[in-house]
Structure 1
Amino acid sequence: MVATRRQSGKLLPPLTAPSTGDVETSDEEDPFGGYESSTDESDSSDDDFAVKRAGRKGRPAAKRAKTSDTPSKMTTKSKNKGKDLSRIVDMPLDVLFEIFGCLLPNDLLNLTRTNKMLRATLMSKQAVTVWNAVLKGRNAPKCPEDFSEPRWAYLLFGGNVCHTCGAKGIRRVDFGLRRRACASCLKEKLVVASKFGTRFPDYEPIVLDLLLYTNTGGWAHGYASNSKFYWVDDIYDMATELGKYQKDVNLRKRGAKQALDDFKNSRIEFVAANFANAQKCYKWASARAKILEEEKKERINQRYQAVEAHLLRLGHLKIDMRSLQNCSAVNKDAELTDLSWSRMRATVEAEVNKHKVERIARERKSLIDSRKRVVKDVYSAYKKELVPIQWAYHPKDEHVYNFEGIAALINDPSASNIEASHYREALEKLPSPIEAFNEGQRALLLSLVTRKDNSSDISNDIAGKAGRTCLDLATSVFRCSTVGCQLRERPLIGCQRAICHSCDVHRGQCYGYHYGFSHLQRDTLTPAFTFSDRGSTAVESLAVLLAMDAREAVPADYDRKAARFVCLNCALLSRAGIHGREALTWRDCVAHFIDARYRKNHDSPNWKLLTHDETMDIKRREQSQRDPADYDEAWSCNHCSTYFDNFARRESVIQHLKNIHGNTNPSEGVDFFYDQRRGRTPRVPVRFGTPTAIAAKSKDPHRCLRCGGSREFTLQGVTDHLKAKHKITDPVIGRDMQKI
C-alpha cells in the first residue's frame, strides 16, 4: 500500500468521498461485481486517506488583530491531532485485515466507498480472507462459486435498496433471481412461464430452462406459489447468448454443436443448484430477520432502561413508568444520549406525571369501592331483618352511599380502611334518611302529576278518602324515560310502583350507545320519570265503565273488580281460531293505549266491558295457559331472607314454603311475592269473539259427543263449540267431548 508519485514528483490531489448515490447502485452497474486488479493501487496516494481541508480559491482571508494577551490553549496542530488518518496506510496489511475482519458486513461495504485506495485494497483478491471472516461472523450462507465475496456481501447486507430503480425499504432478497427488487419492478419485470409463449413468440421454450427463476410473483406480496417467474432482462440476455451458439451451429463451425449442448447442460445444472441454494438462503434470511428483531427489541429495552434510570434519579416511581413502553419517544431503536434525553425529558416526565395522577385516582377509587362494599354488606344485613316484601321500598345501595353520614365515611380523605362498626353506627339512623329519600321521590312524582279536571275542588294532595293522595290514585300513571331501561315502555301505575321501579339495563346493550357504559350506569341510579297523559286518560275511561270514581280509586280497587275489556278501536282479526279482539285486564288496557299512540283510530280510548259470563270464560281460558311470569327469577319467600340476593322461580319458592315453613297452601302477596322492582312479564292475552273453523287435522284432535258428528276440533276449539252451541260451560271428557 505504498503510495507512488507521478513522473512530475507531485502527489495526486486529495479525492472527495463518493456520494451517497453510490450506495444505490443498480444491478446492471454492480459496484461489487468482482475483484479489481492490484494495478489500480498505483493511481492512489496517501492523500486518499487524509482529511480534506475546506478552503476557498483566490485571496486568503484577512488576518485579525489579536485582542488578548493570553496564549491559546490549543494550537492548530494540537486541534487536528488524532484526526489525520493518512498514516493508516503505513500499517501492515495483515494488521489492517485483522481490524477489518472485526467489522460488520455493512460497515465493510461502506468502507469500500470511502476512497479509491481502500476500495482497491478491499476489492483485491488479497482481501478474500477479510470478506470470508466478516460473512462467517454473521453466519451468512456460503458464497456461490460464480459470485465474488464482496458482491455476495452486497447482496446480503448492501442496504434495503432496489437493485433496479433504487427504491428504498426493500428488505427481502429474492435469492432465486439473486437480486433485491421492489414491488413495482417485480410487477414490471417478471414474466410467468405460462405467458412466455404469448409474450415471446419468436423465442424457443428451452430459454426458460437456462434461466434463474423465482416462485414469488409481483402480485404475491412475498408469498411463494407453484408457478415460475423469470426476469425479463435475463430472457433477452439468454436469448442473445443462445443465439450466438446457435449461429455457430448454423455456420457449421467445428465443435459448435457440442459447445451448445455443453452450455445448455451447464446452465441447467447451474439453475438447479441455484434453486437448492436459494432455499437455504431463504431459511437463513428468515432466521436472520428474527435475530435482527430480537436485537432491535434488546436495543429498545436498553433505551427504556436508560430512561427509567434517569426518571428514578429524578424521584419518580417505577410503577408510573409502565406506560412509557408505548411512548414513541422511548420506544425507539436508538441509543439514549445526553442530548436526546434533554430533548425528550419534558415529554417523558409529562407522560409519567399523567399516569401518576391516573394511578392515584385508581387507588383512591379502589379504596372507595372497598368502603362501599362494607356499606353494602351492612345495609344488606339491615334489610334482611325486615319483612322481605319491604325490600323493594328501600333505596338502592347507590342511593345509600350518598346519605350524609355514610358519604362522609366513604369519602374520608385517609388512605386506610374504616372499620365496619363505624358504618353500623351510621346505619342505625337509616330509617330517617330513608323516609326523607322516599318523600323526595314522592315530591318529584307529585310535581309531574297534571290534573285534567281544573274545576275539581279536590286539592292536589288529597284525592278524597282520608290518607290517600293523588299519587296513590290509579290515574297517576308514570313511565321511565331512562335511556336503555328495558321497562321504559311499561306503565308504572301509582307512586308506590314508581318508587319501587329499578331500571333494568343490560351491560351488553350499553356499549351500543355513543356515550359509553359509564354514562348509562349513572342514569340508572336515579330513574327519570315522565307523567303519562294517555295512561291517565285510559284509567279514567275504564273507571266510567266500572262505575267507579277515578278521583278516589286506587290500583287495588281496579284489581278487585278483575274485569276484562276489549279495545273497540282495534280491528277484528281471525287468530287462534277466534275471529275477534284481545281480552285485556285493566292494566293491559293502560299499556295497550299507551303503546297505540301512533296507531290509527287510537286517538281516544274506546273499551267494551265484558259481561260476567264472558269474563269467566276468559279467565278460564287464561288459567289453562301457564303464566310466563312464573318462570321469571323474581319470586321470593315473605317469611325469610333466603332469596335476598338470588330470587327464584315461582315453583321453587312454593316448594321452599312447603319444605321449610310447612305451608301447603301459600298465598301470593302474603306468603310469597313477585319483586316489585322488576317489571312482571305480561300474559299473552286470549281472544274474545266468534270461533272459526278449525283445520281438519290438528295436533290434539277432539270430537264433540253432543253432535255425534265426525268433525275434529282442538281442545280449545271443542270447548268453545260446546259453550256456543250446546251451552255447556264446563265440559267433561267422555260425556261432552272425546279425544281422538
Structure 2
Amino acid sequence: MPPRKGKPRKSLLLKGNGAFLDLPLDVLLEILKILHPLDLLHLSRTNKALRAFLLDRISAESIWRASFELLEDLPPKCPSYTDEVQWTRLLFEEVCHVCCTPLEHDYSFDPIWWEFGARYCDECCPGQVVERLPKELTGTSSKKLTSPGAARWADVFPRVHGHYLAKDIDLFMQKYSASSSKGDLIQERRNRTKVLTDYARICRNWMYHILNAERHKPKQLIETRWAAIQAKLHEAGWPASLTENLHSYQHDLVNNPRPLTDAEWNRIGPKVTNDFEQDIRGTVVSKRFHTLIRAFPTSTLAKLTQHFAFAPRIVDIALLPDVRAVLEGDLKSDMTVNDLKTALEPKLPDLLAAWSSALETQLRDYTRAALELPTDSTVDPLEYALAYFVCEKRCCKGHFKRTGDAQPCRTRWWERGSSETSDYEQEATRIFNCKPCTVNAMFRIEPGLTVLPDVIKLYGKDPKTATCAEMDAAPEKLWCMRCVLKNQPQGWRDAVPHSMMFHEKFSALKPRWEVEIETDDLDPGDD
C-alpha cells in the first residue's frame, strides 16, 4: 500500500532540537501533561518548535487540560470565549498584560479584572479603563446611568469596580456606527456581557478561597515551625506544660514561615533556648511563689518567728537571696511543696533570724538619723519617746516594744513596682499582694514631729532626751481641751493617734493639750 500523502504531523517538527525534544513522542507527551500550566507557558517560549506545538489548539489541547486537572486547587475550567494558553496567562502569570511588568505578590486583594480578562499595573490601568460610556451612546456625560438613553446601556458592557474596558467600547463603537441592525448588535453584546459576568462571579469565588488560604498559610507555616521547635525543647528537657501554650511567644526566629531544618536549629538553637528560658522564667517563678505559700503557711511562719523582734512576711522570705536562688533554679523541673521544704527548712530559721536582726539594725540607724541623736549615745534609739512610727498606709502606729508588737505592717497591699525594682520583686509583690518590708517603705517617724514634742514638754521633760520609760513613769495625765470626755486619750502614747483621728482633717481645730496630776478624786470638769 503506498504511503499516505499529506501534511506531516506537527509533532515531527520537534525532532532534532535537543535531547529533551528527541525523546519518544509518547514519553514527551506524558512529561508535558504533568507539568504545571504556567510551566507549559514558559516552555512554549523557549524555542519556535515548542511554541508552535504547545500553542496549537488542536494538537496540544489534551496536554493543557491534563495539566489543569492535576492542580491542587482546581481553577474554573477554561471558558469558551478564550483558550487554555490565555487562560493560563490570566490565572498564573503575575505580570501586567500591557507592559509585562512583574506585579507585586499581594494576597490582600483580587488582582484580576475577570470581565476584561487581564491584569494591570498602576501605571497602565488608567489608560485601559474608563469610568463612563461615550456621550454618543448615552446622551449624557454623567457617570450614573440614570437618563433614559443611558439606562439602555446599563448591562451592555461589563463593568468592574465602576470602570469599563476602553478598547472594548472602541471596537463596539466602530461596529455600531457601521451596523444597519443596531438593535441586534446591542442584544448580541448584552448576551456576551452576561456570559462574562456570570463566569467572572465563579472565578472571583475561586480566587477568594485562594487568597483566604494564602493569607492563612504563613500562620500555618509558623505553627508548624513552632511545633518543630517545641519538639527540640522537649528533647532538651523542657516539659510540655511549659511549651504547649506558648503559641504567642514573640521571637523573630520562631515566628518565621519557613520549615525548620536541623542545620538551622544548630545555628539558632542556643539563642532561641536562652531567650525562651528568660521569657518562661517569670511563669515558672510565679507558679513556685504559690508553692512557697503552701509549703510555709502563716501558722508555720508564726512558730518560726515568734521569738524575733521583727518577723518577716512571706514576700520578705521570697526575696531572701538563698530562697530566691532555690525558686529560680532549674526551671525545667516541676518543683513541689516537698521539694521546697527539703531545700529550705534546714536553713530557714537562721535566714529569718538574720533578716530580723538586719531590719532592727537598719531601723535603729534610721531612727538615730531622723531624731538627730548623737552616735555615741548609750540609749537605744527605739527607746526614745519621740521614736513613734507610722506605717506608710498609716494603719499601724505606735512605739516599738519587745513584746511582739514590733512587727512590720501586716496589711496585704501592693503598688506597681518602680523601674528600680527587678521583675522578680515586682512579681513577688503582685503574687503575695503586699510590698516587701523595708525601713523606708514601712516605717515613718511621726510626720513632722508636731505632736509629741509639745506633749513631752507639757510633762516637764526634754523631747531630745526623754525615753518611753520616763514618760510611762510620769504621774501626770494628758487631756485634750478641744474634745469631749469620751474622746480623751488614755495617756501620752495616745497623743499622736488622737490627733490623727480627731484633728488632722480639721486644721483649724488642732488639739490643745493640758497635763495635770492624776488623782482618784480629780474631776476634769472642775475648775
Per the TM superposition, whether the score is higher than 0.5 is: yes
Moved more, 178-187 or 120-129: 178-187
* CA distance in 2: counterparts of 1:271 and 1:188, whole angstroms: 21
Counting aligned pairs with the same residue, the percent is: 16
Q: 1:301: Cα distance to partner?
A: 7.7
1:438 shift after superposition: 3.5
* Aligned counterpart, 2:497: 587
Q: Which of 38, 52, 65 does residue 106 from structure 1 map onto?
A: 38
Indicate the residue corresponding to 1:124 in structure 2: 56
CA distance in 2, matches of 1:452, 1:510: 28
Tell me by how many angstroms 1:470 deviates. 3.6
Q: Amino acid of the residue matched to residue 175 of structure 1? A: W
Query: Could you tell me which of 308, 312, 328 is aligned with 1:395?
Result: 312
Distance 1:514 1:123, change over 3 A: farther
Report which of the two structures shows the higher radius of gyration computed on alpha carbons.
1
Q: 2:359 aligned to 441, 447, 455, which one? A: 441
Q: Quote how far apart the aligned CAs of 1:146 are.
A: 1.3
Matches of 2:510 and 2:65 in 1, distance apart?
102
Given candidates 498, 518, 529, the residue that maps to 2:424 is: 518
Q: Tell me if the contact between 1:473 and 1:554 (Cα under 8 Å) persists in the aligned partners.
A: yes
Choose from 241, 250, 254 the match for 2:171.
241
Say whether 1:197 aligns with 2:197: no
Partner of 2:22: 87
Q: In structure 2, what is the Cα distance between the partners aligned to 1:192 and 1:177?
A: 14
Query: Tell me, what secondary structure is at the counterpart of 1:125?
Result: coil
Aligned length: 461
Name the residue aligned to 1:153: 88
Partner residue in 2 for 1:580: none
CA contact (8 A) 2:308 2:353 kept: no
Corresponding residue SS for 1:97: helix
Check whether the contact 1:374–1:420 (CA below 8 A) recurs between aligned residues: no
Counterpart in the other structure of 1:695: none
**1:535 alignment partner AA:** P
Is 1:282 aligned to 2:204, yes or no? Answer: yes
Report deviation, 1:510: 2.2
- C-alpha separation in 2, matches of 1:412 and 1:306: 26
Runs of 5+ consecutive residues of structure 2 not aligned to the other structure? 1-6, 135-139, 430-434, 484-493, 516-527
Please give the residue correspondences for 1:168-179 in structure 2 after superposition, counting only pairs within 5 Å. Answer: 168-171=104-107, 172=110, 173-179=112-118
Q: Verify the 8 A CA contact 1:141 1:284 in the aligned structure 2.
A: yes
Q: Does 1:257 align with 2:183?
A: no
Alpha-carbon displacement from aligned partner over 1:169-198 (angstroms, at most 9, x marks no partner): 145233244333456766786655699935
Seen in structure 2, the aligned counterparts of structure 1 residues 589 and 170 have a Cα distance that, compared at 3 Å, is same
Residue 363 (structure 1) shift: 11
Following superposition, the deviation at residue 107 of structure 1 comes to 2.2
Which stretch has the larger CA shift, 174-183 or 262-271? 174-183
Q: Which of 131, 154, 157 does residue 211 from structure 1 map onto?
A: 157
The question of whether the paired residues in 2 share the 8 Å contact of 1:393 and 1:500 is answered with yes
Partner AA of 1:380 in structure 2: S
Higher RCO (CA 8 Å, separation ≥ 6 residues): 2
CA deviation after TM superposition for structure 1 residue 101, in Å: 1.9
The correspondence of residues 416-565 of structure 1 with structure 2, limited to 5 A, is 418=338, 426=346, 430=349, 437-450=355-368, 460=377, 462=379, 469-473=380-384, 475-477=386-388, 487=392, 493-495=398-400, 499-502=407-410, 505-506=413-414, 510=416, 518-521=424-427, 524-529=435-440, 535-543=447-455, 547=459, 549=461, 550=463, 551-552=465-466, 561=478, 563=480
Structure 1 residues 357, 308: CA separation in 2 closer, same or farther (over 3 Å shift)? closer
Q: Secondary structure at the match of 1:87?
A: coil
* 1:230 pairs with 2:163: yes
Code of the aligned partner of 1:529: N
- Residue deviations 1:16-40 (CA, integer Å, cap 9, x gap): xxxxxxxxxxxxxxxxxxxxxx999
Aligned twin of 2:487: none
In structure 2, relative to structure 1, the CA distance for the partners of 1:420 and 1:117 (3 Å cut) is closer
1:427-465 C-alpha deviation (Å, 9 max, x unpaired)? 9x95x87565434322211111247887x9997453xxx
Q: What is the deviation of 1:263?
A: 2.0
Residue type matched to 1:397 in 2?
Answer: I
CA contact (8 A) 1:170 1:182 kept: no
Aligned to 1:510, the other structure's residue is in SS state coil
* Counterpart in the other structure of 1:348: 268
* Alpha-carbon shift at residue 122 of structure 1 (Å): 0.9
Contact 1:535 1:591 in 2 (8 A): no
Q: Which amino acid aligns with 1:526?
A: C
Deviations 1:612-639 (A, max 9, x none): 9xxxxxxxxxxxxxxxxxxxxxxxxxxx
Q: Report the TM-score when normalising by structure 2.
A: 0.64
Alignment-mate amino acid for residue 302 of structure 2: K
What's the counterpart of residue 525 of structure 2? none
Shift of 1:121: 0.9
Q: Where does residue 292 of structure 2 map in the other structure?
A: 372
Residue 380 of structure 1: CA displacement?
A: 2.2
Equivalent of residue 76 in structure 2, options 132, 141, 157: 141
